[in-house]
């Protein structure tokens, strides 16, 4: 079954033109220029509300839902998500500072990541709500920072459960001990050693356990085995006098309308241009189904072991922002080549504004006619001078002409945080509500692009040349 714009909560006019948040996509492209990220504000807030409510309704104990800033850290978008009751999960000093700038107290922030650098000291000194410890070395570093600054740190131990969801691209399997750098290793005894150290270090306040098994998970049962493996860690902690108050199941919930390519699909697509099939939203479990599985598994473990229900923590990203954002691109050239095919050259693709297109399936619509038959095959590419700057190879679309606007769906997750200029200004971001567009991020200017280059800014001293001038053309 083919994807329809209604699968994202969008609509179309009687003539078939794409409408996002009550505004025609082509009108937004003319008003704000392209490439352009368009965020459906109502859809974004709805997704945040539904996810939080699903887990709070399913779990008999307390629940806290964090939002993973790494997925999309645009300040205006983050602010909307925080307004819907989610808390900040940060992995960089920039993200910490952004949460603070948005008025969040340190005690509400969770700090995560495999190499936190200066963020770790800031988290300890300012009193982060939770610090997710990723290694034995980091555990010792946190303890040393606590002693140096006279602080105590509330920590979760990140456990690598060595669980890989079926069909997952290995690069996304964050719970694999072979493929992933994250977490303390169970088989080699790292978790046991960490718990013993904590038991004898009063500056370290053990709060509980954390695990994360992958991104774009599409089966609810993929959360069962990791939780069962955490259960043994809970028991071991109890034997050392450490009560587990928090169990963090991470995030990784997939979305109905986009998916990562598995390893075989990725290789076939890269090698021969075989386009993978689109996901079928009707076969994707609702977020309530994920919540029921996670909540039921954790509650059942606690009942069997006779221990109190811990606080259930989750930290989604993609499931909140992915489907609320559409990337609009304008077609500049349509270039047929006899016996080969037709290229459609746009003003953005994987090399600049859409890197996830390299390894994920994202649907593309022709904005002026989303219902027209897809009876032409194109290779959709971007403006960069290297051959891998594509949107799709061998993609079936309605007839495309120069000046058309294309809509790349599910652009909310990892598009903006991975964009690069490649000599092009990075795009604007606009939110749309009730047909009105509001600028969240202006388009990058030339001055923005050279702002960090010494000697080229408007306020830099240009009185002294920084290098020998080049000779005139033809000069000896």
Q: What is the DSSP string of 354-403?
A: -GGGGTEE--EEETT-TTS---EEEEEE-SSSSTT-EEEEEEEES---TT
Structure-token pair, residue 476: 């000896």
The tokens 């903006």 sit on which residue?
416
Q: What is the DSSP string of 70-128?
A: GG---HHHHHHHHHTT-EEEE-SHHHHHHHHHTT--GGG-EE--S--THHHHHHHHHT-
DSSP SS3 for 52: helix
The tokens 């028991």 sit on which residue?
235
Distance CA 146, CA 398 (A): 61
The tokens 């649907």 sit on which residue?
363
Task: Enumerate residue ranges in the chain where pLDDT < 50.
Answer: 474-476
| CA proximity to 329, closest of 299, 362, 303, 306 | 362
| CA proximity to 215, closest of 257, 181, 164 | 164
Going from N- to C-terminal start, the domains of the chain cover 5-39+323-445, 105-316
Which burial class, exposed, middle or buried, applies to 207 when counting CB atoms under 10 A from its CB (0-12, 13-18, 19+)? Answer: buried
Distance CA 240, CA 231 (A): 15
CB 280 within 8 A of CB 345: no
Q: What are phi and psi of 274, to 5 degrees?
A: -75, 110
CB 65 within 8 A of CB 316: yes
Can you say how many angstroms the Cα of residue 338 is from the centroid of all Cα atoms in its chain?
40
Structure-token pair, residue 112: 């995560």
Which burial class, exposed, middle or buried, applies to 289 when counting CB atoms under 10 A from its CB (0-12, 13-18, 19+)? Answer: middle
DSSP SS3 for 204: strand
CB 131 within 8 A of CB 189: no
Question: Residues near 247 by Cβ (< 8 Å), separated by ≥ 6?
Answer: 208, 209, 227, 230, 234, 298, 310, 311, 312, 313
CB 227 within 8 A of CB 298: yes
Q: Which CATH superfamily is domain 5-39+323-445 in?
A: Lyase, Ornithine Decarboxylase; Chain A, domain 1 (2.40.37.10)
CATH architecture of 105-316: Alpha-Beta Barrel (3.20)
Q: What is the DSSP letter of 442?
A: P
Distance CA 294, CA 302 (A): 12
- For the beta carbon of residue 318, count every other beta carbon within 10 angstroms: 23
Q: What is the DSSP letter of 210?
A: E
Structure-token pair, residue 246: 């928090």
Catalogue the E-assigned strands of 113-251: 130-133, 153-160, 184-185, 204-210, 246-248
DSSP SS3 for 261: coil
């Amino acid at each position: 079954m083919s994807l329809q714009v209604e699968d994202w909560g969008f609509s179309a006019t009687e003539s078939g033109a794409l409408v996002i948040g009550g505004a025609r996509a082509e009108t937004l492209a003319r008003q704000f220029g392209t490439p352009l990220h368009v965020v459906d504000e109502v859809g974004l807030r709805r997704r945040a509300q539904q996810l939080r409510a699903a887990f709070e309704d399913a779990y008999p104990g307390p629940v806290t839902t964090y939002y993973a800033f790494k997925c999309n850290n645009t300040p205006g978008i983050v602010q909307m998500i925080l307004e819907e009751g989610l808390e900040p999960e940060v992995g960089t000093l920039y993200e910490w500072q952004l949460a603070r700038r948005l008025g969040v107290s340190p005690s509400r922030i969770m700090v995560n990541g495999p190499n936190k650098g200066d963020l770790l000291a800031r988290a300890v000194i300012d009193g982060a709500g939770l610090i997710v410890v990723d290694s034995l070395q980091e555990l010792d570093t946190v303890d040393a920072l606590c002693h140096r600054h006279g602080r105590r740190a509330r920590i979760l131990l990140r456990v690598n459960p060595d669980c890989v969801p079926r069909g997952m691209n290995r690069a996304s399997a964050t719970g694999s001990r072979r493929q992933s750098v994250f977490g303390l290793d169970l088989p080699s005894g790292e978790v046991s050693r960490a718990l013993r150290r904590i038991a004898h270090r009063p500056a370290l306040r053990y709060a509980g356990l954390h695990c994360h098994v992958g991104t774009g998970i599409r089966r609810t049962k993929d959360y069962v085995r990791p939780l069962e493996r955490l259960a043994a860690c809970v028991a071991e902690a109890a034997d050392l006098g450490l009560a587990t108050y928090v169990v963090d199941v991470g995030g990784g919930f997939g979305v109905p309308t986009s998916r990562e390519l598995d390893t075989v699909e990725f290789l076939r697509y890269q090698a021969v241009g075989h386009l993978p099939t689109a996901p079928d939203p009707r076969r994707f479990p609702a977020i309530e189904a994920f919540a029921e599985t996670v909540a039921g598994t954790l509650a059942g473990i606690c009942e069997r072991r006779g221990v109190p229900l811990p606080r259930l923590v989750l930290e989604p990203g993609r499931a909140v922002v992915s489907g609320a954002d559409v990337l609009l691109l304008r077609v500049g050239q349509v270039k047929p080549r006899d016996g080969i095919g037709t290229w459609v050259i746009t003003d953005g693709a994987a090399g600049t504004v859409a890197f996830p297109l390299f390894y994920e399936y994202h649907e593309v619509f022709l904005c002026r006619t989303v219902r027209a038959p897809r009876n032409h095959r194109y290779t959709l590419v971007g403006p960069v001078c290297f051959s891998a700057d594509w949107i799709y190879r061998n993609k079936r679309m309605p007839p495309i002409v120069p000046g058309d606007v294309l809509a790349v769906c599910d652009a909310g997750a990892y598009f903006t945080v991975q964009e690069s200029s490649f000599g092009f200004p990075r795009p604007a971001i606009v939110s749309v509500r009730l047909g009105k567009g509001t600028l969240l991020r202006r388009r990058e200017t030339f001055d923005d692009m050279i702002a960090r280059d010494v000697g080229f800014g408007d306020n830099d001293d240009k009185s002294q040349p920084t290098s020998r001038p080049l000779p005139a053309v033809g000069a000896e």
